[in-house]
Amino acid sequence: MVEATTQGQDDLRAMISQVKIQQVPDQSQMGKPAETIEALEALKKSKGKAMSDNPKQVPAEVKAISGRAQADDPENGFVGAKFEGKKTGKAKQYYLDGSFYDGFMLEDNLVKGRFYFANGDFFQGTFKDNRPLLGSYIQNEGTFSCEQTSFENGLPSGPMEKAQKCTLTHDGKKVSLTGTFANGKPTGEVTMSSDAGTVTLQSPFDGSAEAEPAHEEKKEVEAPVAEPETPVAEPVAEPIVVEEVKVEEPIEAPVVEEKKVENAP
């Protein structure tokens, strides 16, 4: 394990970013390849006896179909059994890209077996809808491996626990991984352990964005409490004083009696 320095953590992130799970090709890609891949053929030999040749490995749902018969179709890269025209029973099926399936099929669908990818990756386990469901995956040359892993849509999904023995090879030594898978890649918080110690890292691991340090607690910022507003008093209108105007009564002029002047005789 490298030291937990900034450069050391970058190196560990680079290791995790190299975990790349391959997808099983579609059924439309089944067929005899133009040429076989020597490395893949060597990988097949390293696994010993073909699973499809081991009667103890036959799944119950396949065993329940009676009337299976050998019906090789080498021109289409198939060697195995069929029932009513569909591949049912033991099966060895090549794909056009050179990858190879060895195991058992039910009505043209992969059920249980080993899948050898063209790039040297290897999966062994059960299948659903021609995609891995549960089993062990080994990345090319053993750089990454994980046992009893759950798959969703053909890619590992869910927890990476100690029981699954997920490991990366670093400087010739095994480094254990625990954490979570999403879309076939380690995500979230991943712990890497070896005899040299333990380091916990936070995704992303591909350098696409700045990673957040692990175990960092984010403090919630409290919104400021608004102080109550002081009510503004409305101005009180002063009363309007109306002065009383006194109206003086008019003074009546005295009445002068008019005297009659008598004419002299």
Is the pTM higher than 0.85? The answer reads no
pLDDT at 102: 98
Averaged over successive runs of 10 residues, the pLDDT of the chain (265 residues) comes to: 61 83 94 93 93 95 94 96 96 97 97 96 96 93 86 89 87 86 88 86 69 43 57 56 51 51 47
Residue 247 per-residue DSSP state: P
Rounded-to-integer distance, Cα 115 and Cα 121, Å: 8
Look at residue 23 in the predicted model and tell me its pLDDT: 92
Strand partners, 126: 112, 134
Residue 157 CB contacts under 8 Å (≥ 6 apart), including other chains: 150, 151, 181, 182, 183, 184
Q: Residue 69 class from Cβ within 10 Å (0-12 exposed, 13-18 middle, 19+ buried)? A: exposed
Cα torsion 141, 7, 164, 21: sign: negative
For the record, the structure tokens of 27 come out as: 């059924």
Return the pLDDT at 140.
85
Q: What is the pLDDT of residue 265?
A: 43
C-beta of residue 150 within 8 angstroms of C-beta of residue 157: yes
pLDDT, position 221: 46
Q: How many CA atoms lie within 13 A of 264 on its CB side?
A: 0
Token representation of residue 151? 């798959």
Residue in 83, 59, 54, 56 with CA at minimum distance from that of residue 71: 83
Q: Which helix (H) or strand (E) holds 42?
A: helix 38-46
Going by C-beta distance under 8 Å and a sequence separation of 6 or more, which residues neighbour residue 64? none
Amino acid 146: pLDDT: 92
